[in-house]
Structure 1
Amino acid sequence: MTAFHSGFVAIVGRPNVGKSTLLNRIVGEKIAIMSDKAQTTRNKIQGIYTTEDAQLVFIDTPGIHKPKNQLGDFMVESAFSALNEVDAILFMVAADQRRGPGDNLIISRLQNADVPVYLVVNKIDKVHPDRLLPLIEDYASQMDFKEVVPLSATMGNNFEHLMELLVTQMPEGPQFYPEDQLTDHPEYFVVSELIREKVLLLTRDEVPHSVAVVVDSMKRNENDKVHVQATIIVERDSQKGIIIGKGGKMLKIIGTKARQDIEHLLGDKVFLELWVKVQKDWRDKKVYLNDYGYKKDEY
């Protein structure tokens, strides 16, 4: 009987390089939200990849950026703390972006890592192959990587190769989670993230970073539907107006699109009720950060 291998893998990178897209491909389901806006991921999200002889637990960290408020501090601290207890690190960069200050900040922390660091060059479907080699050489001149893996998280190119490399890197160990479990986050967290994703996708630029979503309750009602009640929190009255929209139209669209994703996640019919609440400057007030799920003491 072959030995079982298991371990933890951190995915780090600056905002918008495709970390959440890779995580969703790894688990085969949508557990991390995706948006073209920076700082989409705020908490570390664990995705679980299980085969007959291995289990890898992936931690998708918030994109590393220069913090502008307490929420930003929390996100960067959360990202770096993920590096302390893993068996391998994926440093993800985008093939269509040059190395920048954010990458240099990450490299400075990775140079002290005690575990193998893989350079994952994502979005290779967006550039001509001739542009890849100079980019890889530039990163390789900064530090020694265990291996460089060019891939497309969206298209799946070279994805299997990356997974094979990581499985061989894992030590012998137990299966931490049941084979059909995809994430260690409770369902209400993933539900709140799916609602927040729709707000990011559908509203204008002034709203996204000031949005939090709290699921107030999730229970089955007498019609055998899952009744979800959630509150969307923003910082200004003008943002509340944008999210509600004329005659409540925008909130209805957000609710419809979020409900479809939640039904897919839960495998059940869902009745979704949404409210919008203004909480001025919540991103800079510790009490609200804790209330809305950004607790430093959990990490």
Structure 2
Amino acid sequence: MKESKAKAGHSAKRGAKADVFTAGDENFRAGFAVLAGRPNAGKSTLTNALVGQKVAITSAKPQTTRHTIRGVVHREKFQLVLVDTPGLHRPRTLLGKRLNDLVADTLSEVDAIGFCLPANEKIGPGDRFIANQLAQLGNKPIIALVTKTDTVDRQAVTDQLLAVAELGREVLGGDGWADVVPVSAVDGFQVETVAEVLASHMPLSPALYPDGELTDEPEAVMVAELVREAALEGVRDELPHSLAVVVEEIVPREGRDEDHQLLDVRVNLYVERPSQKAIIIGKGGSRLREVGTNARRGIEALLGTKVYLDLHVKVAKDWQRDPKQLVKLGF
């Protein structure tokens, strides 16, 4: 499994903090924040809303995030580096355990944690499990974010805020969470407030990334995530856990002039069983063509040029439980 990016980036940040502040920068804050929570708690959608551009895969299916996608939030008085993690859960496979380990590594290295709890779901055992995991991190500030407020009425939001505040007092003692903020990434309600609250817990520091840089995720990983997101739309519940996407190459098409550039993007989609391969491909290849069309739009926007997307679906039997295949597929 690749090294936690939060760890590497955080070390670089500590070096940056030693820089001399230029005039007018004395109150600037910059640091790393992680959005944690159950699968499908709204972490990726909130990351994209805060950054102002799509940098994380979103899907109605739980456990769609497989990597820690880092998005950079630029503001006049602060810079937030957001790490969007896979959802913490009780793992059933080796892949699940490795994803949980990735989250744990990330949580230990950031300056503040945003704990996402959806407004439209009662607090359950999974939320309590994560809350207790977070409580073990010591003095790290934890901000409870009540997400998806657009899905329920005002009274339901109020009830959830009270329940979330009580959970904080139970697991942390005293006043509980550092802050509690209701938010809707869909309609923009309090998105800027979330940014400001997280920023208030960042250290005084120069900016960590150049202005305008929105993510440090490699292009190939972003392309793979866009293909995976397109492939997950409208499929049966078991498929999200069994689908992995690997970009084999991104190369310029030879013989094209500068005004008509084209990139050849070759991508393999791996599933665990032949029946799942049939689901992805669809009758006569219809579904795979639809996946390609939808993914290509996002990839062309990401890369800024026309793309020929070549998709192939392959079976890697029980890859989630096979250490060698997990390494091959980037986990």
TM-score range, shorter chain: over 0.9
Q: Of the candidates 177, 183, 193, which is equivalent to residue 161 of structure 1?
A: 193
Deviation at 1:206, TM superposition (A): 3.7
> Which residue type is aligned with residue 236 of structure 1?
R
Return the alpha-carbon distance in structure 2 between the equivalents of residues 63 and 81 of structure 1.
Answer: 13
Q: Of the candidates 264, 286, 291, which is equivalent to residue 323 of structure 2?
A: 286
Deviation at 1:76, TM superposition (A): 1.5
1:142 paired with 2:167, answer yes
**Equivalent position of 2:278 in the other structure:** 241
1:67 paired with 2:91, answer yes
Return the alpha-carbon distance in structure 2 between the equivalents of residues 260 and 165 of structure 1.
Answer: 34
1:2 paired with 2:25, answer yes
1:207 paired with 2:239, answer yes
Q: How many residues align?
A: 294
Structure 2 counterpart SS, 1:85:
coil
Return the alpha-carbon distance in structure 2 between the equivalents of residues 116 and 272 of structure 1.
Answer: 43
Structure 2 counterpart SS, 1:229:
strand
**Equivalent position of 2:211 in the other structure:** 179
What value does the CA root-mean-square deviation take over the aligned residues?
A: 1.3
- Tell me, which stretches of 5 or more residues in structure 1 are unaligned? 295-299
Deviation at 1:139, TM superposition (A): 2.1
CA contact 2:223–2:247 (8 Å) conserved in 1? yes
Q: C-alpha offsets along residues 70-100 of structure 1, whole Å, 9 cap, x if unaligned?
A: 0111111212221101111100000010011
Structure 2 counterpart SS, 1:287:
helix
**Equivalent position of 2:101 in the other structure:** 77
CA contact 2:161–2:182 (8 Å) conserved in 1? no
Structure 2 counterpart SS, 1:145:
coil
Q: What is the 5 A alignment of 1:1-299?
A: 1-3=24-26, 4-113=28-137, 114-143=139-168, 144-222=176-254, 223=256, 224-294=261-331
> Which residue type is aligned with residue 154 of structure 1?
V
CA contact 1:228–1:271 (8 Å) conserved in 2? yes
Quote the sequence identity (%).
44
Return the alpha-carbon distance in structure 2 between the equivalents of residues 148 and 134 of structure 1.
Answer: 13
CA contact 2:114–2:198 (8 Å) conserved in 1? no
Structure 1 counterpart SS, 2:226:
helix
Return the alpha-carbon distance in structure 1 between the equivalents of residues 135 and 279 of structure 2.
Answer: 44
CA contact 2:25–2:206 (8 Å) conserved in 1? no
- Per the normalisation by structure 1, the TM-score is 0.95
CA contact 2:149–2:184 (8 Å) conserved in 1? yes
Structure 2 counterpart SS, 1:142:
helix
Return the alpha-carbon distance in structure 1 between the equivalents of residues 40 and 239 of structure 2.
Answer: 18
> Which residue type is aligned with residue 142 of structure 1?
L
Deviation at 1:204, TM superposition (A): 2.9
> Which residue type is aligned with residue 237 of structure 1?
P
Deviation at 1:2, TM superposition (A): 3.3
Deviation at 1:8, TM superposition (A): 0.4
CA contact 1:35–1:200 (8 Å) conserved in 2? yes
